[in-house]
Amino acid sequence: MNKWLRKALVVSFTILTFGLVTPPPALTMEQADSDEPKKFNSFNDQSSEPSLYSFEEQKLFGYDSQRFIDYALSQAELKSFEKFGGKIGPVIEDEFRTEILPRIEEVIAVLAEQYPNEQLDQLQISEKPSGGNGEKIFHIFDATTGKDIVRFHVRKDHPPLEGYWFNFHYHTYHDGFQAHHNLGEIFWDKNTPPKWMS
């Protein structure tokens, strides 16, 4: 089947079902007898070849939990380094990627399991981390209600005689965002760290 015809059918199917039913696999998968080599397309794929349908079209009929996890994790990393800025980011980058980011991924994966695939596209990532001394890295919220579901934060701690630590944690709507769920800590220095986003 022609690629453009298949794409048009996917979009039409999505519009007619109001995005509640995913198109049949026969429309969304590459043909087995295609003469062209198959390419793997993901949200992180940097190839210049267009995928069968764009991210915006995928959002029309939802995406599976692994795609949501990949998308949310890439946004988590982006927002985190935006918050760290040019002074803090290079110093804690390696430890953040090995210690904290995998724990953020675990929380996102648990969240993705709680939603049916067709509702995952309603979950959005907040636009901007807070600068200065604010704790917010990013929030995941339900776009239909505008209400936060999970809030990922980092706090600067200064225990007596221990120097400064960055305490990564998250809050959930289950308890009104009161409890701190620890993700880990990264030591900074004896000196006061710069402001976020500096």
Q: In what order do the strands lie in the sheet with 164-172?
A: 123-125, 136-142, 147-157, 164-172, 181-189
Quick one: pLDDT at residue 48? Answer: 35
Type of residue found at 74: S
Domain ranges of the chain: 3-61, 65-189
* Statement: residue 145 has pLDDT above 70: yes
Quick one: pLDDT at residue 46? Answer: 38
User: From the CB of residue 126, how many other CB atoms can be counted at a distance below 10 Å?
Assistant: 17
User: From the CB of residue 141, how many other CB atoms can be counted at a distance below 10 Å?
Assistant: 19
Report the DSSP beta bridge partners of residue 28: none
Q: What is the pLDDT of residues 85-137, one digit of tens each?
A: 999 999 999 999 999 999 999 999 999 999 888 888 899 999 999 999 999 99
At 50, the pLDDT band (50, 70, 90 cuts) reads: very low
Average pLDDT over residues 151-179: 95
Per-chain mean pLDDT for the chain:
80
* Spatial separation of the C-alpha atoms in residues 163 and 167, rounded to whole Å: 13
Per-residue tokens: 78:
């982006």
Instruction: List all residues 6 or more positions away from 193 whose beta carbon is below 8 Å from its beta carbon.
Output: 88, 156, 164, 166
Q: Are 57 and 11 in contact (CB under 8 A)?
A: yes
DSSP H or E stretch at residue 9:
helix 3-16
176 in the Ramachandran plot: left (φ > 0), alpha (ψ -120 to 50) or beta?
left
Q: What is the pLDDT of residues 52-85, one digit of tens each?
A: 334 444 444 456 789 999 999 999 999 999 999 9
DSSP H or E stretch at residue 57:
helix 55-61
